[in-house]
Structure 1
């Protein structure tokens, strides 16, 4: 029988995964979620006969989900299934180029050579570099805490430290990609991966070129039931090992005594705990739940630049587009100008890069017959008080014009349903400070290594998981943050 109690704040994907890992370690685990549903950003929207995955729509490295099932002695396939994508994404450029990103590396190289003239050798060199960065950083940065002494006593860590210069942190991602590729379209293609953690390729270190390896080598997948199925299956798994979920249950305070976590307050009631884990954005954890203890706050970390945010239109479309796939990108004609708008001017370019996800391509019942469910997203600055209503209206019109130019269809006449998610609602619904999607940005050489640790250095028995802390944002890294916490908690 469990002898110790762990309370988890937030039922995001990392909170759920942490709950499973602690339950397996014989903790009595309860999860408190402010919303009426689990998943955080990884949830869904249903409206007018359409279903949309509300947040993350790209699924990579499914082994980290499977690991949670095998950890509990269960067969993942009894709970959760997915299929590998043969086409990762369709890319559309303003000059008329359409590029199909095949999962097969040789087919992708042939496609790039045919459409851009870029030599296969350039792709091979880039892929080898991406793989090398992964091999150096994976065991140290992704799978381990950077704040534990034993991490640095491992043989793999020592090997990685000796190869640290090879992670390419001293030049920007854009500069590195210019050295790899002659064709500007391919530079833009690989610069885009900076947006996977809400960063700027013209500022972020080339270390982020590790991301294409995660997608190309390990593949992109589609979960049966859509992205929401990840959340649903893990909640079911958590409940099967005794985890209790409490929804509509905002935590008011983390109670500290003699620099040690004693429990939480919720609805004016004190709930004692041996361990408290916050899956809430680290900024709100300190500013709201630990506001009584300003001396214990890591002020430098809380002042770091936040990642970008997103503006998402969920559109029901009364037409089928054969030229589109599950994932589609419509590139800006001037990528650097677009990022200047986001990071310097704190507004939205009139020619934004558009990400379009259509889950009904793989899950037809997500839209009525003859219709498609369009998840239309652009990268935008985090919320610092902009006139978002005005920006949204302008962005909607610019997106429609761009899609008309490239697809030749008047999208405005095809929209039968619309919902919107912007930085303000991202913050209010998911407690992500300023609506930033990935916590702090990675726009400086070592920012990715300076994220908040998974355990408080000043408060005993207080742990952190999720996209705002180490190792970063996105489903795989959020799940790895849960793994680090699970290994750290005794």
Structure 2
């Protein structure tokens, strides 16, 4: 046993002398030179994947790789040793010797784990994963304990965690392992005061600085002696520690053998973001050098391996590796340089970042300019006093489309988004205090349907037939509308589409089809209100739009842990990993044009960015009337375009939990049809509105402080009659009174208004000013100007916009003369791999103004279907 008293602080904190003694090669300080050095190592002497000299490179990463993820390193400018000269990491012998040391470690680690758990892979992690996929990197050894390489998608069998991981906890007696999250929950139960303190730090955004090993710094007067540590849950006596290698502890034998074998087999070793201060890492590099292998270093500052390196680049890894993946893109087996094409995306909404990621993955240089200081557009977050609100979407529907997007980009969606499934889809409240729950559990739905439609087999069979019909609508609509471009008018006239005219019931309304299956008005209402999400009335929306009912009942409603902004944020990081540049706080003044094309954009500060194509992720009418030169087309759009509805949204901090509210709640007006008419025909706030209430804290406790609820209320209203929405103060006041009155009455909560301790409001003027939505609406005249988003084909809604991003990316690729290929995940003999999918050869580009042609076609289709319907029996019920 080591004499602990003999280990002085200076000995523990002494840094190795890294001053090189016999340097023969100067360090490289320019990004371009660093990229060239890395590329030469990765490519070897050939330019083909799979050839003799390509691949065979082992990468070793250190703490410097994770700094862009918010986890500091040890010796950088903001490193732990630099910022805190008194920092003292715990030694293995200390951890074993004293219970008080274990209390100190686990208390600090308990508070720090959340930041490690929530950290996301940065552009370097994603770039290295991409290089592994393409065969340039054979294996990856990491000294980091944050698991971010695995979260980024690097294959688990090709990543060695030299110093272990914080994600599991193990018993030193029996070897039993358990997930860190489970252990954290046990610590929370044993230490409720510490749990409350941790939640306070998180919700007030006052979390103390984290260290690379996962603990945090706390004031010296904090006492740890009341912190309880549970014993091993299996043997009940053993000491538990995280599955990491502490200072003074030996590397596990199997890890040591594996990494040594990888070094033996490697052609070269590339060290990234590490000073090689620990001998366990330096030993591997030293071995590679002694075996005559090339050793490359990418690290700012001196390293222990400077004297044996073949070359060194003192450049931040986050500046180098995204450029490396951008400079060489895989197309079949050949490697070709970055394409001499530049695309500017105006707006970093969901459509903007998804399109940027897709184009960047094809080797196209992409610059995204966004006026706000965040990505996601309306898919953004608000914070207030520990409460977190989804400012826009809150329903994660059609999950297959989300997955397809990430698959196409070569990523597993599970590595980026943690989905929570709602136990119930909705609780629907009616004017008389009655309510019905909609659930993906068919046994529950059978009981609910029988309550309103009567007992017996037939009512439930009608429900199943309704869902079967919506399934047909879902499958055919996805294939025929969401994944197709209708650019020229003759594309609408295809004989193979004629059978689908009848399958999709295009001349029926959603409410009309519901009336065919259900006798109860309440059931019809409960199964048709979803058109509100698409800003349509169920009495006017074509029947094929009941596809949402299918996805809700068959696939369920989900919620991304941490809020919906997780989705665009993940796409933005993937885009950056492929080399895209995302510039926030950069409003666009104008899109620059010539006679028939656009040449780039001018920012508000006068900077001009030239481009081969421009993609507008902004409202179509806003772009034509504000960013483009005045035109008769733009005027016609603003005068005659049909706008979606707007909304008034209330974001409420409650001082308590309200169990009467579920995650998703719908309050329907008694005058159901009239309420929609007032929105879409009168363009007003309904006198008796239907509205939606979301309580994210019911499914994701992190969205509210303990014992409180976060509530979002969305009240659909007509869009503003003016380009700049008028003052909405009285309308907001009236809407608030009606919402609180309805909730108070229907839920029998007489004091509900007093529960609201803080309110934030978004009205049509907010949507117009913050997100450039023309007239507060919430949803090609130039050859190389494209549109993506809710105002472009195929329509509104996050999954629909993701489909739009794919379509427009393919069109931009074709316009630029690029053979677009998406990555697809397939199961191979050695596990999951990614291969190029089919190529796209569309020879046309996006035009968005097809509504008049579509109406003509639908009129012809209506006549054909009407003849068929009149000659058949029994006739379906038609409802206006």
Same fold (TM over 0.5): yes
Q: CA deviation at 1:437?
A: 1.5
**What corresponds to 1:402 in structure 2?**
742
Matches within 5 A, 1:68-467: 68-117=405-454, 119-147=459-487, 158-266=495-603, 267-292=605-630, 294=631, 297=634, 299=636, 303-384=640-721, 388-409=728-749, 410-438=751-779, 456=780, 458-467=781-790
Where 2:588 maps in the other structure, the secondary structure is: coil
Partners in 2 of 1:214 and 1:307 — Cα distance? 23
Matches within 5 A, 1:13-52: 13-52=350-389
In structure 2, runs of 5+ residues without a counterpart are 1-326, 328-337, 814-880
CA contact (8 A) 1:330 1:354 kept: yes
Partners in 2 of 1:149 and 1:73 — Cα distance? 35
Q: Given the alignment of the two structures, is residue 468 of structure 1 paired with residue 829 of structure 2, yes or no? A: no
Q: Please list the CA deviations of residues 400-432 of structure 1 after superposition, one character each: whole Å capped at 9, or x if unmatched.
A: 111111111122111111000111101111111
**Structure 2 CA distance for partners of 1:69 and 1:194, relative to 1, 3 Å:** closer
CA contact (8 A) 2:347 2:617 kept: yes
**Structure 2 CA distance for partners of 1:436 and 1:358, relative to 1, 3 Å:** same
CA contact (8 A) 1:116 1:185 kept: no
Q: How many residues align?
A: 468
Q: CA deviation at 1:380?
A: 0.7
CA contact (8 A) 1:52 1:314 kept: yes
Partners in 2 of 1:355 and 1:183 — Cα distance? 22
TM-score (norm 1): 0.90
Where 1:60 maps in the other structure, the secondary structure is: coil
**Structure 2 CA distance for partners of 1:302 and 1:62, relative to 1, 3 Å:** farther
Q: CA deviation at 1:197?
A: 0.6
Where 1:356 maps in the other structure, the secondary structure is: strand
**Structure 2 CA distance for partners of 1:221 and 1:36, relative to 1, 3 Å:** same
Q: CA deviation at 1:336?
A: 1.6
**Structure 2 CA distance for partners of 1:86 and 1:427, relative to 1, 3 Å:** same
CA contact (8 A) 1:99 1:115 kept: no
Partners in 2 of 1:49 and 1:83 — Cα distance? 21
Q: CA deviation at 1:36?
A: 1.3
Alignment root-mean-square deviation, CA: 2.1
CA contact (8 A) 1:20 1:68 kept: no
Q: CA deviation at 1:298?
A: 8.6
Where 1:355 maps in the other structure, the secondary structure is: strand
**What corresponds to 1:449 in structure 2?**
none
Partners in 1 of 2:442 and 2:691 — Cα distance? 25
After the TM superposition, which of the residue ranges 241-250 and 467-476 deviates more from structure 2?
241-250
**Structure 2 CA distance for partners of 1:424 and 1:116, relative to 1, 3 Å:** farther
**What corresponds to 1:478 in structure 2?**
801
CA contact (8 A) 2:591 2:602 kept: yes
After the TM superposition, which of the residue ranges 159-168 and 304-313 deviates more from structure 2?
159-168
Q: CA deviation at 1:321?
A: 2.1
Q: CA deviation at 1:8?
A: 0.1
Partners in 1 of 2:447 and 2:758 — Cα distance? 39
CA contact (8 A) 2:347 2:368 kept: yes
Q: CA deviation at 1:164?
A: 1.1
**What corresponds to 2:297 in structure 1?**
none
Matches within 5 A, 1:57-72: 57-72=394-409
Partners in 1 of 2:398 and 2:475 — Cα distance? 15
Q: CA deviation at 1:151?
A: 6.6
**Structure 2 CA distance for partners of 1:105 and 1:151, relative to 1, 3 Å:** farther
Q: CA deviation at 1:246?
A: 0.9
- Select the structure with the greater relative contact order (CA < 8 A; seq sep ≥ 6): 1
Q: CA deviation at 1:80?
A: 1.7
**Greater gyration radius:** 2
**Structure 2 CA distance for partners of 1:150 and 1:72, relative to 1, 3 Å:** farther
Where 2:528 maps in the other structure, the secondary structure is: helix
**What corresponds to 1:450 in structure 2?**
none
Q: Please list the CA deviations of residues 104-145 of structure 1 after superposition, one character each: whole Å capped at 9, or x if unmatched.
A: 234323322235538112212211221222233221211111
After the TM superposition, which of the residue ranges 201-210 and 181-190 deviates more from structure 2?
201-210
Partners in 2 of 1:172 and 1:432 — Cα distance? 28
**Structure 2 CA distance for partners of 1:291 and 1:217, relative to 1, 3 Å:** farther
**Structure 2 CA distance for partners of 1:463 and 1:374, relative to 1, 3 Å:** same
Where 2:681 maps in the other structure, the secondary structure is: helix
**What corresponds to 1:444 in structure 2?**
none
